[in-house]
């Protein structure tokens, strides 16, 4: 609440604070810690703290019977702390502290359950995130020539040609952290973590770090032409995520693909230059995505840790509060009128229709919208409207604890009732949007068409799945083979290079010659000296020195 009120004051007075704290000064080298306090950072911190506090309250009940629950809560607090460092940092050094910390703690949380699947998923996650860290480190090295790492002032003291490479590296780091093509494969694998972790990761911390960094640097990005390529990447990622969600039956992975789709949606509007719209949708997405994961966690808990939506059904009767919240979050994801994301998503949709773009972007944008509606209706149908399955009938527990309900209630109320409030707060200066009536109602028409299409073709698609099962397994479910490429090509080669360098350098000829070889050489020398001093050789050496001294004395 304190951060939110301070953010309101900074919006009202239109101010920001740039704070530098100098640790030490040595030979013209200043070691500084820099903070950027403006309305954007304070608003985002307030949302992160609100969501994370509710998730921690939820975790007290959800992870209560876990043997390592205290370690889990400690790792979650580290996660929030590193995200806080990242949000308030306008400096690449301090950003790397939060950026690298997020990757490290996410690895610890993904492998929390300590089985083979968790370890393989955690390895893919941490290596692809390390790739993003590598891009940040390279941009830091490039900026080393210019006397400052403060990227917020980067435009004033760096040449245009050098600026292009620095901004390109930062963009690649953001794509890696926000899981855009070709770095998308780690996002569904990170679902091996506990559900509260997924809720925090996908709403307001790890996945949103890349888009937040892009929002901060967007005024500089708009000077360069590679945003057109970023627009193509975001369109393809949004399309791919929607297709994967249609063919997926794991509930948490469907929500993960929806996160991937919404991240691409944010990148898309960011490429068109609307920074405030993107940030507004980022906040609204954090609200409903955290609620989506928390309600899905209760459903999974009640289904005896089963995540297959084909084995669920009729949950609105068994778990009414949780089922209602889950349905509200899916309606908010679709941009249903008067929910929180309607005010941002509908605005972005109308602005996109006003842009002078080609048919490629319009097709992928509108078809991805349709896919979003389609997989949301599909999840509602499987979870709420289908009949009870036998598995359901035997295993349902009907467990809704007061901690779980209280933790979801506050964010749910904000998600349902406060969308208009945040819109008037952020957009006190509106762009004029002029569209024909048919374009104004296009999103509603796509929604009704997707409902009709789902109920008309659901059985047909389900039967077709068996006919194209091989194609489905190796193309749609594998994220257009990105999973295969990242694991079998990139990851295996990366590990092979590591094993080869270990063999060559640490346990190879360098180890033999430098470490073992030197030890062997000194050992031989010590044995030789010992032979001299412990045997009769010392007599001959003493005689030789005496002869040498006598010759030297007489010559002198």
- pLDDT of the chain, 556 residues: tens digit per residue: 899 999 889 888 888 888 888 877 777 667 778 888 888 899 999 999 999 998 888 888 888 777 888 888 888 899 899 999 888 888 888 888 888 888 888 888 888 888 888 888 888 888 888 888 888 888 888 887 777 777 777 766 666 677 888 888 888 888 888 888 888 888 888 888 888 888 888 888 888 888 988 888 888 888 777 788 888 888 888 888 888 888 888 888 888 888 898 889 888 888 888 888 888 889 988 988 888 888 888 888 877 777 888 777 777 777 788 888 888 888 888 888 888 888 888 888 888 888 888 888 888 888 888 888 888 888 888 888 776 664 544 445 555 677 788 888 888 888 888 888 888 887 776 677 788 888 888 888 888 888 888 877 766 655 555 555 555 555 666 677 777 776 666 666 667 777 777 777 666 666 666 666 667 777 777 777 776 666 666 666 777 777 777 877 766 5
CA distance 390 to 382: 14
Where would I find the H helices in 144-181? 154-157, 160-177
Strand partners, 236: none
- Rg (alpha carbons) of the chain, rounded to whole number: 30
CA end-to-end span of the chain: 95
Q: 103: exposed, middle or buried (C-beta count within 10 Å: 0-12, 13-18, 19+)?
A: buried
- Give the whole-angstrom CA distance, residue 373 versus residue 330: 9
Read off the tokens for 341.
Answer: 């994301």
Rounded distance between C-alpha atoms, residue 270 and residue 89, angstroms:
21
Q: How many Å apart are CA 482 and CA 189, to the nearest integer?
A: 12
SS3 assignment, position 25? strand
Cα 374 to Cα 446: distance, rounded to the nearest angstrom: 10
Burial 394-429 (b: 16+ CB within 10 A, else e): eebeeebeeebbebbeebbebbbeebeebbebbeee
Nearest to 257 by CA among 240, 270, 271: 240
Written as six digits, the tokens of 192 are 């091996």
DSSP 172-213: HHHHHHTT-TTSTTHHHHGGGS-HHHHHHHHHTSHHHHHHHH
Task: Report the Cα 1 to chain-centroid distance in Å.
Answer: 26
Which pLDDT score, from 0 to 100, does residue 46 have? 92
CB count, 10 Å around CB of 168? 16
**Considering Cα of 444, then 445, then 449, then 452, what sign does the dihedral take?**
positive
φ, ψ at 22 (rounded to 5°): -95, 120
If phi over 0 gives left and psi between -120 and 50 gives alpha, with beta otherwise, what is residue 29? Answer: beta
d(CA 351, CA 345): 10
Contact of 376 with 335, CB cutoff 8 Å: no
**Length, in residues, of the chain:** 556
Residues 6+ apart with CB under 8 A from 433: 347, 350, 351, 354
Give φ, ψ of 31 to 5 degrees.
-100, 110
**pTM of the entire predicted model:** 0.84
Q: Cβ(189)–Cβ(124) under 8 Å?
A: yes
In 10-122, the DSSP E strands lie at 17-26, 29-37
Task: Report yes or no: 330 and 380 within 8 Å, Cβ to Cβ.
Answer: yes
Handedness of CA 19, 24, 29, 31 (dihedral sign): negative
Q: Please count the other Cβ atoms lying within 10 Å of the Cβ belonging to residue 523.
A: 10
Instruction: Determine contact, residues 118/111, Cβ cutoff 8 Å.
Output: yes
Map residue 274 onto helix, strand or coil: coil
DSSP character for 68?
Answer: T
pLDDT of residue 393: 47
**Rounded distance between C-alpha atoms, residue 374 and residue 433, angstroms:** 27
Residue 459 confidence (pLDDT): 65
Whole-angstrom Cα distance, residue 49 to residue 6? Answer: 14
Residue 406: partners with Cβ closer than 8 Å, 6 or more residues away: 57
Cβ–Cβ < 8 Å for 491, 123? yes
Asked if residues 152 and 90 have their Cβ atoms less than 8 Å apart, the reply is yes
Q: What does the pLDDT read at residue 49?
A: 92
DSSP code of 114?
-
Question: How far, in Å, CA of 333 to CA of 345, rounded?
Answer: 9
**Closest of 103, 72, 77 to residue 186, by C-alpha:** 103
Half-sphere exposure of 39 (CA within 13 A, CB side): 14
């Amino acid at each position: 609440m304190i951060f939110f009120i301070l953010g309101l004051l900074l919006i009202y007075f239109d101010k920001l604070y740039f704070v530098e704290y100098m640790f030490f000064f040595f030979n013209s080298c200043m070691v500084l810690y820099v903070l950027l306090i403006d309305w954007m950072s304070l608003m985002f911190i307030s949302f992160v703290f609100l969501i994370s506090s509710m998730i921690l309250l939820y975790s007290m009940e959800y992870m209560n019977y876990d043997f390592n629950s205290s370690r889990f809560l400690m790792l979650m607090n580290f996660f929030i702390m590193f995200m806080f460092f990242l949000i308030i940092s306008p400096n690449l050094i301090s950003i790397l502290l939060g950026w690298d910390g997020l990757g490290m703690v996410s690895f610890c949380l993904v492998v929390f359950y300590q089985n083979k699947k968790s370890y393989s998923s955690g390895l893919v996650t941490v290596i692809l995130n390390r790739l993003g860290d590598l891009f940040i480190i390279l941009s830091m090295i490039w900026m080393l020539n210019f006397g400052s790492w403060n990227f917020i002032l980067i435009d004033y003291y760096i040449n245009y040609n050098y600026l292009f490479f620095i901004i390109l590296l930062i963009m690649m780091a953001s794509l890696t952290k926000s899981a855009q093509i070709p770095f998308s494969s780690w996002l569904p694998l990170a679902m091996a973590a506990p559900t509260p972790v997924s809720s925090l990761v996908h709403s307001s911390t790890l996945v949103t770090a890349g888009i937040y960094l892009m929002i901060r640097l967007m005024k500089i990005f708009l000077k360069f032409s590679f945003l057109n390529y970023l627009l193509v990447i975001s369109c393809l990622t949004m399309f791919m995520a929607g297709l994967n969600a249609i063919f997926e039956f794991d509930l948490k992975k469907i929500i993960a693909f929806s996160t991937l789709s919404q991240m691409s949606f944010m990148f898309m509007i960011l490429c068109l230059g609307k920074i405030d719209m993107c940030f507004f949708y980022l906040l609204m997405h954090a609200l409903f995505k955290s609620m989506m994961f928390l309600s899905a966690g209760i459903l999974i808990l009640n289904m005896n840790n089963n995540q297959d939506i084909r084995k669920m059904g009729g949950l609105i009767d068994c778990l009414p509060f949780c089922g209602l919240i889950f349905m509200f979050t899916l309606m908010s994801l679709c941009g249903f009128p008067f929910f929180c994301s309607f005010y941002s998503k509908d605005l972005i949709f109308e602005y996109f229709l006003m842009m002078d773009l080609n048919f490629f972007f319009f097709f992928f944008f509108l078809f991805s919208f349709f896919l979003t509606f389609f997989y949301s209706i599909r999840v509602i149908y499987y979870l709420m409207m289908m009949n009870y399955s036998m598995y359901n009938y035997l295993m349902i527990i009907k467990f809704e604890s007061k901690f779980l309900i209280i933790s979801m209630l506050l964010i749910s109320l904000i998600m349902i009732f406060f969308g208009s409030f945040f819109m008037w707060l952020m957009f006190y200066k509106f762009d004029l949007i002029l569209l024909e009536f048919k374009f104004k109602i296009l999103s509603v028409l796509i929604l009704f068409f997707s409902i009709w299409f789902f109920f008309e073709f659901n059985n047909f698609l389900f039967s077709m799945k068996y006919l194209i099962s091989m194609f489905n397994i190796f193309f749609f479910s594998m994220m257009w083979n990105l999973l295969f490429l990242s694991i079998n090509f990139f990851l295996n080669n990366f590990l092979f290079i590591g094993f080869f360098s270990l063999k060559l350098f640490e346990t190879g000829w360098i180890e033999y010659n430098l470490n073992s070889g030197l030890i062997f050489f000194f050992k031989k020398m010590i044995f030789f000296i010992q032979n001299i001093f412990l045997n009769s050789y010392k007599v001959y050496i003493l005689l030789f020195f005496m002869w040498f001294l006598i010759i030297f004395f007489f010559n002198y």
